[in-house]
Amino acid sequence: MSRIHARKFVSDDPDKCVGCSVCEYICSFEKEKTFNPLKSRIRVVRLDTTINMSVACRLCEDAPCVAACPRDALRQSEETGVIIVDEDKCNGCGWCIEACDYGAIMLHPDKKVVFICDTCDGKPKCVEWCPEEALSFITKDVLAQKSRISAVKKLFYEALKT
């Protein structure tokens, strides 16, 4: 198994997410010692009144955000896949934000540098505190298997309705 498939990241189940923002609050408190969702490394996205999901870094292989940075302020840990920001090099230009397919990179409202989920060193507090258990800390392979199982269940459900 390649290293990318062994990397764990925070994943969301939109069927369980109620948009409560506990993940944002606990993240901002863990990292910044303040309850401020704007300082969170995970974001709740509300797609409509009943569909919510949380977005955090997916630890992409050959991360486009790293390649997009003109100041070499981002690097990816070979061990964990976590994106590390060198705040001394980052000028907040936002190229990495544009390059991220998941919308998982934010500009810090005070420091004016980017910040990204670092999985709390492998023990994400957002997963621990999610009251609906909508967040999990899993690998891409496990996520793919969950998606396949969900698709099969939906097919059987549709077949039973007809």
Of all residues in the chain, what percent carry a pLDDT higher than 90?
78
Res 5: pLDDT: 61
Greater pLDDT, 146 or 16: 16
pLDDT tens sequence across 86-106: 999 999 999 999 999 999 999
Per DSSP, helices labelled H in 7-135 are 22-32, 64-68, 95-99, 125-129
Position of tokens 């070979």?
A: 78
Predicted TM-score (pTM) of the model is 0.86
Write out pLDDT tens, residues 150-159.
778 778 777 7
The predicted structure's pLDDT at residue 1: 41
What integer is the mean pLDDT of 125-144? Answer: 94
Residue-range domain boundaries for the chain: 3-161
Cα separation values, 114 from 64, 74, 146, 160, Å? 15, 9, 31, 49
Architecture of the domain made up of 3-161: 2-Layer Sandwich (3.30)
